[in-house]
A and B are shown apart, each in its own frame.
Chain A
Amino acid sequence: MSTLTITVVVPVYSGAAYLERLAETIDAERAAWEDGATPFRLEQAVFVADSPVDDSPEVLERLSRQYAWLDVVTLARNFGQHPATIAGILHSSGDWIVTLDEDLQHRPEDIPKLLRRAAETSLDVVYAQPDASVHRGYRDLASRVYKRLVMSATGIPQVGWFNSFRLMRGSVARAAAAVSGHETYFDVALTWFTDRYGTERLPLVDERYRSSGRSGYGFRSLVSHARRMIVSSQPKVLRLGALIGLLAMLIAFGLTVVAIFTRAVDAESVAVRGWLSLFVGIVFFGGVISLLLAVVLEYLTNVVQHTQGKPTFFAVDRSNDEMLREYFSKRDAAPIPDG
């Protein structure tokens, strides 16, 4: 039986305090897979140093000497989490790719759970979803509201699932990473290549936020994320604009009929002459402008997405999923050893 390979990608910005433990955990998990004769093995872990602000480069240098499976990619400047993730994915060669945060919020022990979920129904992308609150109170509520707003604006139903702990089929992830420009939101690019998405509920805890009160997602970064998601997608708001324009034109047309009728039947009842005509004119041409603007922007969006690399089609090979399904079903059927 051939073995499927898994690559772990970790963008690193300020994780010096966590990297050693993360590498140890990955190594332990790697050994456990080998001992358990799983049909998958951890081939490499790519740590992408995104111009870290702490001692991460030195720690990574030491870890890369310690673990043969650990590769370090050093970016020339700070590009941000998504570009760093993309760089890691483009350096990978695994059949499956898992992206993890640097701060132990995402546990390598949960990777088989994601893989199992993907294999069950041949999914291409599986996002981890927290089975309980990740942050405290209002932040989780704000996160849900934010995701709902962005989902409405972009028209992408998976937006609510987007998470940096994800398992992706290697070919799909590399294709999406290859077409991603500096303003492309990577998870949106993934939706260009597949619609086979799923989620897996896992215990996710933002250790850094809980211990220090600091989170990687401040207000500015959330706005930036939303902006890039909207720029990368074909925003529903454009169609809403077109609809409003069309509606305004219809209202103007209706008011014109009313104005003509009133003038013909009861001209004396018009207290201020010319007011309705002016109003109708403004509403009508406002509607025309809105409609035309929406059409132009729709064209522009198509051009931008074409330029960004949205594919006409993409072929994928899911034939190895059967091997994983067999393994997981046999493992589940095996009796649990005593003790």
Chain B
Amino acid sequence: MRLRFPTADVAATDEGRFVTVQFGLGTIGRCIDSSLASLMPSTMVDLDDEWGISAAARTNRVSEALAVAQRKAGPLSRVSVIWSAGVAGFDSDYAETAAELDAFRGVVEAVRQFADSGTGCAVAVHLLSSAGGLYEGQTRVEPGNAPDPQRPYGQLKLAQEAAVRELVGGVGIDVYRPSSVFGSVSTKSRQGLVPTLVRNGLLGRVTTLSGAIGTQRDYVSARMVGRHIARRVLSESGVDLTISHLVAARPHTVGEVLRIVERALRRRVLLAVAPAENAAPITFSESIRAADFAAEDLRVGIEQVASEYLGRSSLAA
């Protein structure tokens, strides 16, 4: 759990008495955090946040964290809680997703208690959901399409959205539904197709793809998603519910991604294909894309991932 406060000179103003409480510093979480840091002169405090604790224990943790925030920044004018945490993925089972839902409900309860405590502080929750999980198997998803999760992960995201909707009225709620997100090459967090291809391509390893070479997905870079969410976090929000689809509205086949990675690396990338259930395309129409979301060209994003990893690799060498 990371608390981020404006630096002293900014905090001296009413607008500056603002704190963000962020859960999860994975691929997207890191990008949100770094964007927040670059957009707002701030300091941060990391607090312990074990994953396996009960919802009630988590509620207490969050309440304590908010108390810490108030001690450090004084009476707060605004609190933004960002949920970018999660260990569940597309292949997770119900046991895994249930634990994550429980953890999120603990946070929602803490937010409810804080909002009801009569501090006069504006509270906002920013939930990172998943367009891929919610619309799996649907093509050219438009505003009229209803989420229809096909597996536990999508059902978890829908349940999280339902849980956060219960706060509507007293709390500003932003739900973000990004499509397939790719970020920097990392050995720690769960990797998507793009960083895996970049890493294995440079190491000369074979990448085994579960799906099909023609499987279509909509890819957005974690950097752009992080920047968008950070801007929303820092902007004044009301007490409405806003759902933003952070999609590129431009499908790419795995074959096309492979080709772009090969061009970026200037070498052949070895790929083995293992047929899998999740080969169905998931694509989005332009009309559903959040109007203020700028999705960059996938070629640019992949070039950046590749050059960043090449830079890090050469530094390490």
Q: How far is the CB of B241 from chain A (nearest CB, A)?
A: 24
- Contact string against B for A residues 119-140, beta-carbon threshold 8 Å, 1 for contact and 0 otherwise: 0000000000000000000000
Q: What is the distance, in angstroms, from B14's C-beta to the closest C-beta of chain A?
A: 42
Contact across chains for B213 and A315 when beta carbons are under 8 A apart: yes
- Bitwise, B234-276 to A at CB < 8 A (1) or not (0) is 0000000000000000111101100100000000000001000
Indicate with 1 or 0, residue by residue over B281-306, a CB within 8 angstroms of chain A CB atoms: 10101110000000000000000000
Identity of the chain A residue whose Cβ is nearest the Cβ of B257 in the assembled complex: A178
Contact status A174-B253, CB under 8 Å: yes
What is the CA–CA distance of A3 and B171 in the complex, to the nearest angstrom? Answer: 42
Most chain B Cβ neighbours within 10 Å, of A92, A170, A174, A309: A174
Q: Confirm or deny: A91 has a beta carbon within 8 angstroms of a beta carbon on chain B.
A: yes
- Name the B residues within 8 Å of A44 (CB-CB): 140, 285
Chain A residues with a Cβ closer than 8 Å to the other chain, count: 21
Number of A-B contacts (CB under 8 A): 51
Q: Please state if A174 and B214 are interface contacts (CB–CB under 8 Å).
A: yes
Once A5-B139, A43-B140, A44-B285 are accepted as A-B contacts, the answer to whether A90 and B216 lie under 8 Å apart by CB is no
Does B142 sit within 8 A of A, measured CB to CB?
yes
The docked-state distance in angstroms from the alpha carbon of A5 to that of B212 is 18
Given the known inter-chain contacts A43-B139, A90-B256, please indicate yes or no for A175 contacting B213, CB distance below 8 A: yes
Chain B, interface size: which category?
20 to 34
Partner of A175, one of B140, B255, B286, B287: B255
Given A43-B140, A93-B140, A93-B281, check contact A174 B255 (CB 8 Å).
yes
> Which of chain A's residues 173-211 have a Cβ closer than 8 Å to chain B?
174-175, 177-179
Contact between chains at A174 and B140 (CB < 8 Å): no
With an 8 A cutoff between CB atoms, is A154 at the interface? no
Provide the bound-state CA to CA distance between A309 and B281, in Å.
23
Given known A-B contacts A71-B285, A179-B259, A90 and B140 have beta carbons under 8 A apart: no
Of all chain A residues, the one with the shortest Cβ separation from B285 is A71
Which residues of chain A are within 8 angstroms of B285 by Cβ–Cβ distance? Answer: 44, 68, 71
On chain B, the residues within 8 Å of A93 by CB distance are: 139-140, 216, 251, 281, 283
Does A309 contact B140, Cβ atoms closer than 8 Å? Answer: no
- A71–B214 contact, CB under 8 A? no
User: Which residue from B214, B250, B287 sits with its C-beta under 8 Å from A91?
Assistant: B250
When chains A and B are docked, how far (Å) is the Cα of A5 from the Cα of B251? 15
Q: Give the distance to chain B from A111, nearest Cβ to Cβ, in Å.
A: 18
Q: A14 at interface (Cβ–Cβ under 8 A)?
A: no
Contact at B142–A71, with CB atoms within 8 Å?
no
Contact for B255 among A92, A170, A178, CB less than 8 A? A178
Interface of A, secondary structure class, is mixed
Chain A residues near B256 (CB-CB < 8 A): 90, 174, 177-178
CB distance from B213 to the nearest CB of A (A): 7
Interface flag for A171 (CB, 8 Å): yes
Which A residues touch B259, using CB under 8 A? 178-179, 309
**What residues of A have a CB within 8 angstroms of the CB of B213 in the complex?**
175, 314-315
Q: Once the chains are docked, how many angstroms separate the CA of A91 from the CA of B252?
A: 8
Q: Give the residue name and chain of the A residue nearest to B256 (CB).
A: A178
The closest CB in chain A to the CB of B250 belongs to: A91
Closest CB-CB distance, B265 to chain A, in whole Å? 14
B281 / chain A contacts, CB cutoff of 8 Å = 93
- Are A175 and B253 interface neighbours, CB within 8 A? yes
- For A71, what are the chain B residues with a Cβ–Cβ distance below 8 Å? 285-286
Q: Kindly identify, within residues 42 to 81 of chain A, every residue whose CB is under 8 Å from any CB belonging to chain B.
A: 43-44, 68, 71-72
Interface string of B197-212 (1 = CB under 8 A from A): 0000000000000001
Q: Which of A1-53 contact B (CB under 8 A)?
A: 5, 43-44
- CB closest chain-B residue, reference A170: B214
Given the known A-B contacts A43-B140, A44-B285, A68-B287, are A90 and B214 also in contact in the complex, defined by CB atoms under 8 Å?
A: no
Residues in B with CB closer than 8 Å to A317 are: 212, 214
Residues 70-116 of A at the B interface (beta carbon under 8 Å): 71-72, 90-93
Chain A residues, Cβ within 8 Å of B216: 93, 174
Which chain B residues numbered 126 to 181 have a C-beta less than 8 Å away from chain A?
139-140, 142
Interchain CB contact under 8 A, A171 and B214: yes
- Contact partners of B214 in chain A: CB under 8 A: 170-171, 174-175, 317
Residue from the list B139, B142, B252, B253 in contact with A68, Cβ < 8 A:
B142
**Which residues of chain B are within 8 angstroms of A91 by Cβ–Cβ distance?**
250-251
- Residues in A285-326 with C-beta less than 8 Å from chain B: 309, 314-315, 317
**Minimum C-beta distance from B266 to chain A (A):** 10
What are 7 A-to-B residue pairs whose CB atoms are below 8 Å?
Answer: A43-B139, A91-B250, A93-B216, A93-B283, A175-B213, A175-B214, A317-B212
Task: Return the 4 tightest CB-CB contacts between A and B, nearest first.
Answer: A178-B256, A171-B214, A93-B283, A93-B139
